[in-house]
Structure 1
Amino acid sequence: MSLIAAYIALGCAATVLPVLVSVYVANEHVARREQADLRAYAAKAVIRTDLVTYQARAAIAELRAEHAEPCSPEYLQRAARVIFNHLYVRDAGAIGDGRYLCSPLFGDVRTQDVVLPPPRWRSSDGYQVWFKQKNPLSDVREDIQVARDGEYVSIDPQSFVDIIDPAGRPIATINTDLNLIIALSAGADAEDMLNAWKRAGRIDSSEWNYAVAHSSTRSLGVVVKGRRTSLLRDWPGLLTMWLSMGVALGAALGWLAFKLISRQVSFQASLEWAISRKAIDVVYQPIVSLATNECVGVEALARWTLNGREISPDIFVALAEQHGLIQSLTDLVLDKALDDLTELLRSQPSFYVSVNVSGDDLCTPRFLNLVTAKLAGIGIRAAQIRIEATERSFLNADVTRQTIAAFRSAGHPIYIDDFGTGYSSLAYLHTFMIDVLKIDKSFVDTIGQDAASSIVAPHIIDMAHELGVEIVAEGIERTEQVEYLVGRGVQYGQGWLFAKPMRREELVAWLEARRASHAPAQPAIQ
């Protein structure tokens, strides 16, 4: 009986312990993933605070652009136009000597002595801010009011926290100088959120995760929280369930895990083989000057066909990054691009090809040394090889900044690809010296549409102009998008309106046809 009991106990332990360990590991993984997702949500919320603040200041600048007499009909008409043109602005007008003077909302009140209290906060660059400022026409509505040099605008506080989030996670916007909540989402607890902010999100709670983020350009921050998922809360139930299911289920799961791992290993091995045998194809998508319709360069893109089926770059590039193959893949793209385009690049010194690099190649000078060695003596200028990296490649700022500077010093322009999709703050545009910013297709698609994200592209364009960097709009498919982008001063574009990605022979024929006809590019046949 003791021996039988020992075997039963051993069998139960062999069945249950791996499962409990797996559940514990899974629980830790879920916790890390939830925290990472919450930090990404906080970073997204910081972008919203930057955009709302930027719009308030832009509205004041527009109000001051023409020097009409304050409170004159012309002034009030311009103020009404400012309110109409800016999504988050509720009111705009003139103030002075601690009083409201006029606005389109409540007219000329200079003779009515409508008192304005002292501002709650002043920024280092001269802006005055009132929080929870009641409008003279209402005892209920409270706005955030921003003023400078006698002009003011009123902003709805909910603009700072009005972010589309299916999970409905609470969010608060904070003035970091005052440690003061200036906007709070519906259902959020102000005391709880402020406490989480003061403790940098380090709250010991079994129910909630917290995350904070700071604006890189303003005295603003956000704190968000999301419900914590725990797989161990009902551990007795889990134990009973797995004891009852026993070895049979463990064997089934083991077989499934074996199949999944075998498939993954096989896929990884196929990609490694394809890279080593140079079986990855490279195609080229033209980049066009929107003003002149001239093709100024191309972007080199990797393509992989496995067993007659095209594998999405999103899949095999991610796999290459996970298994240490991404640098070999980038080297292969560079080699094939130089093999294909050397003659074209020599004949047209202003023409260029851009190559996408990973975060690994921004951490060391390895790829720069490789490019320099391959360009030596072949008659191609450094500026004809351009470097593209996504937002997340710049996350390790201290490590990558030196490499980015080295690329630019060697003459290779730097592009930020798919800008706006990483929910990162706008700090990249301030801390890195870059040459070109590429607006992601998801934002270009919203041009001319009534979508929540349609306001992002105009603000990205405005900030790029202010910083003096050029812009490439990705995924252009309609002529009205081109008209809008040209009107906003965007220099370059790429997309199916001009051409799909092409192999070298197709690209050369396409360029020769354009050169011979001198005709505008036609939409690609889909």
Structure 2
Amino acid sequence: MIKRITVVSASVALGCLATVVPVLTSLYVAKKDVERRERAEIKDFAKKAIMRAEVVTSQAFAALNDLDQQPGAPCSPPNLEHAARVIYNYRYVQDAGAYADGLYLCSPLLGDVRAKDLTLPPPDYRSNEGYSMWFRRRSPLSNERNDLQIGRNGRYVSIDRGSYVDLIDPAKRPIAAIQTATGTLIAVSTGADPGDMLNAWKQSGNVKSDEWNYAVAQSSTRQIAVVVKSPRSSIAGNWPKLLAAWLSIGVTAGALLGWLAYKRISWQFSFPATLEWAISRRKIDVVYQPIVRIADNECVGVEALTRWTLHGQAISPEVFVRVAEENNLIQFLTDVVLEKTIAQLGKMLVANPTFYVSINVSSEDLRSVRFLNLLTSSLAGTGITPRQIRIEATERSFMNTDETRGVIAAFRAAGHPIYIDDFGTGYSSLSYLQSFEIDVLKIDKSFVDT
């Protein structure tokens, strides 16, 4: 009898264990999975935030370089007109002007204020590259906002600090941008605790908190970092779905199918963000297609082509270039191609002055001289001649004729030959292209076959 009771008790106990242990295990695994997803989500958002911060900072430096090209004497009408164009061309620049000896001189918004003695205090930080920074400078135009001002060579630009943290985020997660060389808080979103965000940055996001998750993203190209935090309470909202999934599907098959579905959905919905990250981290590769002269079979140049491998899989340029165009990333992609091309082929181009490389640009690159200015500054001091860098665009890039015509002329005036690629796939009209000054017309095979 006792043995029977013992066996029954053991059976009941084992049955309970067999029932409870999988449930408890599922609960534990589901909880850990939610936490992992929370961390992954906030890290992805931090990547987007640091890319915005890099874009804002890069525009400020590019605008300063543009100001160095100002015509005429400081504060002259041509000089102020050029500064006004700089403000218009760079989205995050609020004002651009001149200063000297601790005084504002002029800007398109201030006008000529040399007689007003508007004081500009010593900068908060001077970089080794000669940039001066005022992290919270009250604009003479307003008593309600402190801007970030960056200056060099007597020229300055003002940036609305809110641009660093003004991201579209339905969850309204707190964001902070920090200048890493000084540990100075540049900007913080409304409602965020500045001290808390600075402390999280100092600890690389490893803050012990029962209420918040933290993530820190550091720029690899600029002295800037961002801190993002997200409430842990969002775990409760995801709990029912995740718990039901873990309990209703077999452990092995369910985990495998769930993982595959998660990876697939994540790839589809975060592809633009992944591409944005790849561009900012210079994960885009450049390969070179030889250009052979038919007369003597000599390789006279190459065409720079973009390639991208994601998780061991090659992504077609037709796919990621289109995504770059649709998500305002194409200009940054062109910049990376230029940067890598000069780094990889620079010595060969200098050693072979007749050898050239053709770089593909987009329609966005032909709407302003932004890329031309970058190209000019990139070639300075390298020994590479402008003629060795040829600009190639598809026929469809010439849609905005009024904007494009002037930019094309500027490229040619700077010494860069212009190629039209895939002629015959777009407008297919030679008369349409007569208004453009081009050097080479590459006719598409389908057009010739027709």
Residues 71-470 of structure 1 mapped to structure 2, 5 A cutoff: 71-228=75-232, 253-254=249-250, 257=253, 389-390=307-308, 392=310, 418=321
Distance 1:149 1:190 in 2: 32
- SS of 1:114's equivalent in the other structure is coil
Aligned-pair CA distance for 1:233: 11
User: In the alignment, is the contact (CA less than 8 A) between 1:51 and 1:459 conserved in 2?
Assistant: no
Task: Indicate the residue corresponding to 1:397 in structure 2.
Answer: none
User: In the alignment, is the contact (CA less than 8 A) between 1:473 and 1:492 conserved in 2?
Assistant: yes
Aligned-pair CA distance for 1:258: 6.9
Distance 2:34 2:369 in 1: 37
Gapped regions of structure 2 (runs ≥ 5): 272-288, 346-356, 380-388, 412-417, 428-442
- Deviation track 1:79-130 (CA, whole Å, cap 9, x = no partner) reads 2222222211111211111111122222222122111110001111111111
Distance 1:107 1:136 in 2: 11
C-alpha spacing 1:102/1:42, structure 2 compared with 1 (3 Å)? same
User: In the alignment, is the contact (CA less than 8 A) between 1:387 and 1:415 conserved in 2?
Assistant: no
Distance 1:169 1:195 in 2: 17
Aligned-pair CA distance for 1:482: 9.4
- Deviation track 1:240-274 (CA, whole Å, cap 9, x = no partner) reads x99xxxxxx96x53499579859x89xxxxxxxxx
What is the identity, as a one-letter code, of the residue corresponding to 2:448?
R
Task: Indicate the residue corresponding to 2:62 in structure 1.
Answer: 58
User: Given the two structures, how large is their TM-score scaled by the length of structure 1?
Assistant: 0.54
Aligned-pair CA distance for 1:65: 1.0
What is the identity, as a one-letter code, of the residue corresponding to 1:480?
M
- Deviation track 1:451-502 (CA, whole Å, cap 9, x = no partner) reads xxxx9x997897678657989989x978637997895779787899669xxx
Distance 1:167 1:473 in 2: 40
What is the identity, as a one-letter code, of the residue corresponding to 1:192?
D
What is the identity, as a one-letter code, of the residue corresponding to 2:79?
Y
Distance 2:370 2:27 in 1: 45
Distance 1:92 1:148 in 2: 12
What is the identity, as a one-letter code, of the residue corresponding to 1:61?
N
- SS of 1:71's equivalent in the other structure is coil
C-alpha spacing 1:198/1:70, structure 2 compared with 1 (3 Å)? same
Distance 2:159 2:255 in 1: 57
1 or 2 for the larger relative contact order (CA 8 Å, sep ≥6)?
A: 1
C-alpha spacing 1:33/1:173, structure 2 compared with 1 (3 Å)? same
Aligned-pair CA distance for 1:170: 1.4
Distance 1:15 1:459 in 2: 66
User: In the alignment, is the contact (CA less than 8 A) between 2:421 and 2:444 conserved in 1?
Assistant: no
Distance 1:5 1:439 in 2: 77
- Deviation track 1:113-161 (CA, whole Å, cap 9, x = no partner) reads 1111100011111111111111123222211111111111111001111
What is the identity, as a one-letter code, of the residue corresponding to 2:86?
V
How many residues are aligned here? 360
Distance 1:19 1:438 in 2: 59
Gapped regions of structure 1 (runs ≥ 5): 243-248, 266-311, 319-344, 352-378, 395-413, 449-454, 500-509, 518-526
Distance 2:229 2:113 in 1: 44
C-alpha spacing 1:170/1:511, structure 2 compared with 1 (3 Å)? same
User: In the alignment, is the contact (CA less than 8 A) between 2:200 and 2:207 conserved in 1?
Assistant: yes
Task: Indicate the residue corresponding to 1:15 in structure 2.
Answer: 19
Aligned-pair CA distance for 1:437: 12
User: In the alignment, is the contact (CA less than 8 A) between 1:388 and 1:416 conserved in 2?
Assistant: no
C-alpha spacing 1:496/1:41, structure 2 compared with 1 (3 Å)? farther
C-alpha spacing 1:82/1:71, structure 2 compared with 1 (3 Å)? same
* 1:34 has 2:30 as partner: no
- SS of 2:182's equivalent in the other structure is coil
User: Given the two structures, how large is their TM-score scaled by the length of structure 2?
Assistant: 0.62
- SS of 1:147's equivalent in the other structure is strand
Distance 1:163 1:195 in 2: 22
Aligned-pair CA distance for 1:46: 2.0
Over aligned residues, Cα RMSD in angstroms?
A: 5.3
C-alpha spacing 1:484/1:13, structure 2 compared with 1 (3 Å)? farther
Distance 1:219 1:22 in 2: 44
C-alpha spacing 1:229/1:491, structure 2 compared with 1 (3 Å)? farther
User: In the alignment, is the contact (CA less than 8 A) between 2:211 and 2:231 conserved in 1?
Assistant: yes
C-alpha spacing 1:439/1:178, structure 2 compared with 1 (3 Å)? farther
Task: Indicate the residue corresponding to 2:276 in structure 1.
Answer: none
- SS of 1:115's equivalent in the other structure is coil
